[in-house]
């Protein structure tokens, strides 16, 4: 997981996906209305364009896979990228 970025751009709203049936919602629910499973909704963070560009992946990253320390700002060595990612 060393290649994963730790920078966070604009704060996007997370969304939740049921790991049982794939039901998607922006509001966390204790119980999936689709399959009725309790606490099956997992939080996902939308990936900002800048981040997606860095990673080369446009898919959201499950929170439990994302490293902590999001507030830390590490220089990429690329001025333009730093500027884009430094915002927010
Ligand atoms: Zn479900």
Task: Report which of 76, 34, 30 is spatially closest to residue 51, judged by C-alpha positions.
Answer: 76
Q: Give residue 41's Cα distance to chain centre.
A: 15
- Please determine, for residue 11, whether its predicted confidence score (pLDDT) is greater than 60: yes
pLDDT band at 80 (very low <50, low <70, confident <90, very high): confident
Give the Å distance between the CA of 36 and the centre of ligand 1: 6
Give the Å distance between the CA of 41 and the centre of ligand 1: 7
Percent of the chain scoring above 90 in pLDDT? 34
């Amino acid at each position: 997981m060393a290649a994963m970025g730790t920078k966070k751009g604009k704060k996007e709203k997370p969304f939740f996906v049921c790991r049982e049936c794939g039901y998607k919602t922006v509001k966390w629910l204790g119980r999936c209305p689709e399959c009725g499973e309790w606490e099956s909704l997992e939080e996902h963070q939308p990936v900002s364009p800048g981040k997606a560009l860095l990673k080369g992946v446009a898919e959201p990253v499950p929170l439990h896979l994302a490293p902590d320390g999001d507030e830390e700002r590490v220089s990429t060595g690329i001025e333009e990228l730093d500027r884009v990612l430094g915002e927010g």
